Copies of this chain bind each other. A is one copy, B any other.
């Protein structure tokens, strides 16, 4: 369900949180359904329970889930569209990337060309 890459510089707890956010946002996990318990997921992924706990706290603070004492953690109803939020995130990250590139003397056309190349390689790789 969730894939962990230990070599990724992104911390494990964030990889887990992002993974669930994706599954929830894309509707793979439905609203009000229960997430696996901390202990269970920790065993399944062979990961320290503290790390799972941190990932779940992250999801909670992002408003993706709600917790019921003694019962577990459940998927919250999504206020704003998941895709909308992701598009907004993409916009911010893309903007930062482009500002950096521009500061290094790369032109707008060159950036566009890089984007097209990337998309091409991804299509070919798929």
Contact = CB atoms under 8 A, between A and B. Distances in A.
Interface in A70-113: 70-71, 82-83, 86-87, 90-91, 93-95, 97-99, 101-106, 108, 110-112
Interface string A111-126: 1101101110111000
A4 to B, nearest CB: 11
Contact of A69 (B11, B66, B99, B112): B11
Interface residues of A, number: 42
Interface of A: prevailing SS: helix
Interface of A: 6-7, 11, 22, 25-26, 61, 66, 68-71, 82-83, 86-87, 90-91, 93-95, 97-99, 101-106, 108, 110-112, 114-115, 117-119, 121-123
